[in-house]
Amino acid sequence: MPSKTFTSGRIRKADYDPASQQLDLHWDNKSVLAYKSVPYEVFRRLCSAPNPATYWEDRIAEEYPKGVPMTRSAHSEGGKSLADLLGDGD
């Protein structure tokens, strides 16, 4: 899975799954936003943009449907999982 880490700006990391065309954006406030049906070219351009957050605002935020993040954010680590909340089905 392609991934890009950013050293400055509000976006800290971008993960892209080519199979599902999902883009997960990890933000400096520890939140994760996921977008579905994102072409690889959009991910590539985000990674090469001089200001990735501006590119996100202009080309991604309102253009693609939101999804569920592929990975848990750092903010949610240590929290209860869905299985913890719902039980194991016994």
Read off the pLDDT of residues 28-74 as tens digits, 9 standing for 90 and up. 999 999 999 999 999 999 999 999 999 999 999 999 999 999 975 44
Among 80, 49, 76, residue whose Cα is nearest residue 14:
49
Q: Model confidence at 88, in pLDDT bands (50, 70, 90)?
A: low
Domain ranges for the chain, please list them. 3-86
Facing residues of 66 across strands? 35
* Residues contacting residue 9 through CB under 8 Å, at least 6 positions apart: 28, 51, 52, 53
Instruction: Give the per-residue pLDDT at 77.
Output: 43
* Residues contacting residue 11 through CB under 8 Å, at least 6 positions apart: 25, 26, 27, 28, 52, 53, 56
CA 62 to chain centre: 15
